[in-house]
Structure 1
């Protein structure tokens, strides 16, 4: 039983893709936490979940600037990882890189639009109240 050694280049491409997904997840999570004062109560009410406990969702209001900075920073680093030129794909994995790179870019753009909507909602929300 001989196993072929895993190339270092393929591990680097896989690690970079996973890092990009991790940073995008961090950006979305911090944007959700940054908008808990406005978006989360609205979503919960629209889903039919109400109660006096929703007042406690404003506890994170003082941390909002830090969470916004974390979201923008994580999204920026994920963009760097996703959009920088591919140098880690080997010849036999060019087809796999050609498939996963556009998918990751689309996922990044979707996350960026979602995060922008979450972060801009507190600025636009007073228009609706």
Structure 2
């Protein structure tokens, strides 16, 4: 049986964050790349769904945290989860991704400081 390490929850959190920020970050990235047009305004159609995606992001990050820190891992000797360096790497990746995702979610509020 394969041991779950929170990787699936982390990936789901990334996808939910992309969904939450497509209305705000998407147009900024396209404009920064020099891509313009009136159709960019239609990307804001996802704005009403932003709170739903934010809740999903926080839920999946919470699940990943729960799996990485609170659930004791039952590993057979020699398995990847039994190596402390592997667990430390997973936790480090979790925190890096969490900081990036929270920064991405905060873009609409941080953008107000620059406009």
Q: TM tier, shorter chain?
A: 0.7 to 0.9
Contact 2:13 2:57 in 1 (8 A): yes
Is 1:69 the counterpart of 2:52? The answer is no
CA–CA distance in structure 1, aligned partners of residues 102 and 80 of structure 2: 33
Cα distance between partner residues in 1 of 2:9 and 2:33? 29
Q: Flag the structure with higher helix content.
A: 1
Stretches of 4+ aligned residues off by more than 4 angstroms: none
Matched, 1:32 2:18: yes
Residue 94 of structure 1 deviates from its aligned partner by 6.7
In structure 2, how many angstroms separate the alpha carbons of the residues matched to 1:127 and 1:95? 43
- Which of residues 38, 43, 47 is equivalent to 2:33? 47
**1:90 aligns to what SS in structure 2?**
coil
**How far off its partner does 1:69 sit?**
0.4
Q: CA deviation at 1:28?
A: 1.3
Matched, 1:114 2:93: no
CA RMSD, aligned part only? 1.9
Cα distance in 1 for residues equivalent to 2:98 and 2:65 = 9
Structure with the greater alpha carbon radius of gyration:
1
Normalising to structure 2: TM-score of the pair? 0.87
Using a 3 Å threshold, how does the CA distance of structure 1 residues 86 and 94 change in structure 2: closer, same or farther? farther
Query: Which residue is equivalent to 1:23?
Result: 9
SS class of match (1:104): helix
